Chain A
Amino acid sequence: MLTHVLERILQALAVMLVMSALVFIGVYAIGNPIDVLIGPDVSQDIRLETIARYGLDKPLWEQYFTFLGRVLHGDFGRSFVFGMPVLELILSRLPATLELTIAAVVGAALIGVPAGIYAGYRPDSALAKTIMAISILGFSVPTFWIGLVLIMTFAVELQILPAGGRGDTAALLGVEWSFLTANGLSHMLLPAANLAFFKLALMTRLARAGTREVMLSDTVKFARAAGLSEWTVLRRHVLRLISIPLVTVFGLEFASTLAFAVVTETIFSWPGIGKLIIDSIQSLDRPVMVAYLMLVAFVFIMINFLVDLAYFALDPRLRKGRG
């Protein structure tokens, strides 16, 4: 077990290193960042001076190693646009995105998994068909369009929920959170629902597919032959068996939800890192882009690691013969 964890940490470090190189080269090799920094009408001297100040005259690999050295000290450089350290900038926006993402993913799992199990257990019932119809909509309709419809319905027509912003926040552990105030929660509801809809559909479909397969298996038939009630079969056998693929997807989707927050935050003017990245992409603010992409990669690797540990807890077949 310990060797396995060590192995995974080694692997994660290697992946992060490769990622940083890819991201750096990808973002810096294309286009000319200098045009963003200075206007077209400045003198050649200032131009060269600026290039030298940002180290843009050095070869790409040298720039990369300078960058890598700084990153190891927690220095991702300064934003071209905001003029403040990138790390500070991202950390100030992160809590808003985190609370939104966690609310969306957890909400999607809590509703989606039971709905999916039901739809897989009684695939021919009217309720199951309704659930699947909603899920196919959630799976198909682009997130931004659902956002529009939510705003149209609840903010414009019914006027019961706010259309954007974070609302009131309260501090916890030195960080401002919206979910701690009633007003903040009311601001969070629509964007969280918007972000959750696709995940909800995905969880429902996965849970349904898993349940349908498990219900046809000999394990369930044998459990029934031993006189187990349907409720016990579902709760003890089916749920345990489908939890393994569900946990994987739950983990993977957390990372992609962070990415989709870009869309939701744009629509609902939610001041998180998604909004930040869109703005910096449009203004080609490279240090912010690089730091953001590395953050997403880091989150993804961490989640993969946790999912792996969860596997060991959920699937005894993996425990034997390893570590």
Chain B
Amino acid sequence: MTDAALLEVTDLSTHFFTRAGVVKAVDGVSFSLRRGEVMGLVGESGSGKSVTGFSIIGLIDPPGRVAGGSVKLEGRELTGLLQDELRALRGKTVSMVFQDPLMTLNPVLTIGEQIRLALEAHRKITATEARRRAIEGLAQVRIPDPEATVDFYPHQLSGGMRQRVAIAIALLHGPKLIICDEPTTALDVSIQAEILAEMKELVAELGTALIWISHDLATVASIAQHVAVMRLGKIVEEGPMLDVLTRPQHPYTRALLDALPSRTEPGTYLLRGEVPDAAPPPRLTAAKAEPAGDEAAPYFVLDDVSKRFETRTGSLRALAEKLGLAKPAVSVLAVDSVSLTVPRGEALGLVGESGSGKSTLGRMAAGIYAPSAGTVRLSGQPVMSTGETPRKLTTRVQTIFQDPFASLDPRMRIGDSISEGPRAHGLVDRAQTDAYVRDWLGAVGLDPAVAGRYPHQFSGGQRQRVAIARALAMQPDLVICDEPVASLDVSIQAQILNLLMRLRSELGLTLIFISHDLSVVRHLCERVAVMYRGRIVEEGPAAEVYDRPRHDYTKRLLAAVPVLPAAAS
């Protein structure tokens, strides 16, 4: 490579020596980075992209270690260095920013103290000077009112502000290279857009090289000049950003791009989703246990529902409040007077950022939370009973949750998880149960023989298929999907989306699809409602809302979504 190279990684291998055998997390990776250059390192989970980042600065925890290859920074070999020699480089020449700023900053130290510790790591500094430098550093990452912020604790800052503090710490000693490991993944899309823009400006201004590690091709496209795509510990394709993303050479890169919903016509199967030639979903000929309700009433109605979460108080606290000795406990109005009607057979997308109340609204629709005010009705019948301990009354509304690892009982065989509900409600009898479970496993594209396994024996995508089978085995009419693909890799996401689209059309389901990902909702839903601070600010046909947003918030949200360069044909 050229002499101008800042970082040269050659044939780097990092292995984890576990009891199950050696895991080659990074398996012969080579690339180089010039001064001031921004490189994007993309890959799905388990591709080794984060381990590559940590290997560069020698922060691999046992049982892992760098097994071979070389990392040269400004011509100096880093792989053989002692921890003390590496420590002198860390934070000074190379620094790092992590995914979740809530986990990285110490919750019991002020921002100022944490910055001072990072300053003291590389030079002697007085308390006054450290404070001055801290304020400067915070101002540099565009934190408003840095004089006040130095004395704050991390929990007093928003997620975006916390990540800015982490970036300020990384920039303190003017490093030559910053490695950012999924720095915007835990943040909302509008905050992500701000951080991306600021980071781009900062590195250009300071001449710092940047390695931006991400699973998201679009964010990488909006910051990197150079892209490397990783898969199973190896770099499969590398080159200038525009070349890689518009004229991908490697089939894996092409597959990744094709799996993105934004690249396919809404409502059609995603290209790389491989619709398995699955069996049709089993239907029950027997009449359903519950009456269909009033066919003339609007199909699914959320009627002026609100949800208020009270902080729990003891009786003594309540007494103290009455006597004026304590301030009244705070309550949060998560959903504020929302009304929605979903016609039979429609797919409604519910989008919004974290804290918008979309999940709470979904849980009220699903009969998990009872509304504090208002009612939820399916064909004119209430979904939940009222009273002190409200209970769900219908089986015709079912839910698919975000994290299939959390939503399946880890100690129950998946076959039992699927059959439990239908058995309890008499949809199938004991004799039919096994066949019914097998049919459903087939219908979601799983081998019917796996009914006796436990959730941990499946991958994330397979688990979500099980969760879908469990929800649909109740023979619902309406399914609430709460971020069902948010924790999945893009290629798995495409498979699950295709499966949901197929089952929806075969069963004539009505869907409420909750997501933070605008492109997924655009792809799946005919109509969309935008939530912001507990209210629906805009609602309408998907094409209309996306192309001609009326509300300011919707406009901002759409503008914040990073866009991929159009594919060259």
Contacts and interface: CB of A to CB of B under 8 A. Distances in A.
Q: Give yes or no for direct A-B contact (beta carbon below 8 Å).
A: yes
Interface of A: 3-4, 6-7, 10-11, 14, 216-219, 221-229, 232, 236-237, 240-241, 244, 314-317, 320-321, 323
A244 B155 CA distance: 17
Given A225-B57, A227-B92, A7 B316 contact: yes
Contacts of B92: 227
B343 interface: no
Contacts of B91: 225-228
A234 to B, nearest CB: 12
B155 A226 contact: no
Interface of B: 57, 59, 61, 87-92, 95-96, 98, 100, 103-110, 113, 117-118, 120-122, 153, 155-156, 166, 169-170, 172, 316-317, 319-320, 325-327, 330
A321 B330 contact: yes
B317 A227 contact: no
Contacts of A240: 106, 108-109
A262 to B, nearest CB: 33
13 contacts: A7-B316, A7-B325, A14-B316, A218-B100, A222-B104, A223-B106, A225-B90, A225-B96, A226-B172, A227-B90, A237-B109, A240-B108, A240-B109
B118 A226 contact: yes
A320 B156 CA distance: 8
A316 B109 CA distance: 8
A229 B85 CA distance: 11
A281 to B, nearest CB: 34
A309 B40 CA distance: 48
A107 B96 CA distance: 41
Would you call the interface of chain A mostly helix, strand, loop, or mixed?
Answer: helix
B121 A232 contact: yes
Contact of B316 (A11, A221, A229, A320): A11
A3 B109 CA distance: 26
B314 to A, nearest CB: 8
A11 B103 CA distance: 35
B327 A222 contact: no
Contact of A241 (B108, B172, B319): B108
A240 B317 CA distance: 30
Nearest to A11: B316
Nearest to B170: A226
Nearest to B315: A14
Contacts of B122: 227
A10 B316 CA distance: 8
Contact of A6 (B90, B106, B118, B325): B325
Contact of A3 (B89, B104, B325): B325
Given A226-B95, A227-B90, A317 B155 contact: yes
Given A227-B89, A232-B121, A222 B316 contact: no
Contacts of B170: 226
Contacts of B106: 219, 223, 237, 240-241
Contact of A224 (B90, B100, B169): B90
A316 B112 CA distance: 14
B108 A314 contact: yes
Nearest to B110: A316
Contacts of A232: 117, 120-121
A229 to B, nearest CB: 7
A4 B317 CA distance: 10
Contacts of A7: 316-317, 320, 325-326
Given A6-B320, A236-B109, A227 B155 contact: no
B96 A3 contact: no
B103 A228 contact: no
A219 B95 contact: no
A227 B103 contact: no
B320 A10 contact: yes
- Most A CB contacts (10 A, CB to CB) among B61, B91, B169 go to B91
Contacts of B169: 222, 226
Nearest to B83: A230
Point out which of A226, A314, A315 has the most chain B C-beta atoms below 10 A from its C-beta: A226
B104 A315 contact: no
Given A10-B320, A244-B108, 15 more contacts: A10-B319, A218-B100, A218-B103, A218-B104, A225-B59, A225-B91, A226-B91, A226-B118, A226-B169, A227-B88, A240-B106, A316-B110, A316-B153, A316-B155, A320-B156
Contacts of A229: 87, 121
B107 A317 contact: yes
Given A224-B59, A241-B108, A3 B88 contact: no
Nearest to B92: A227
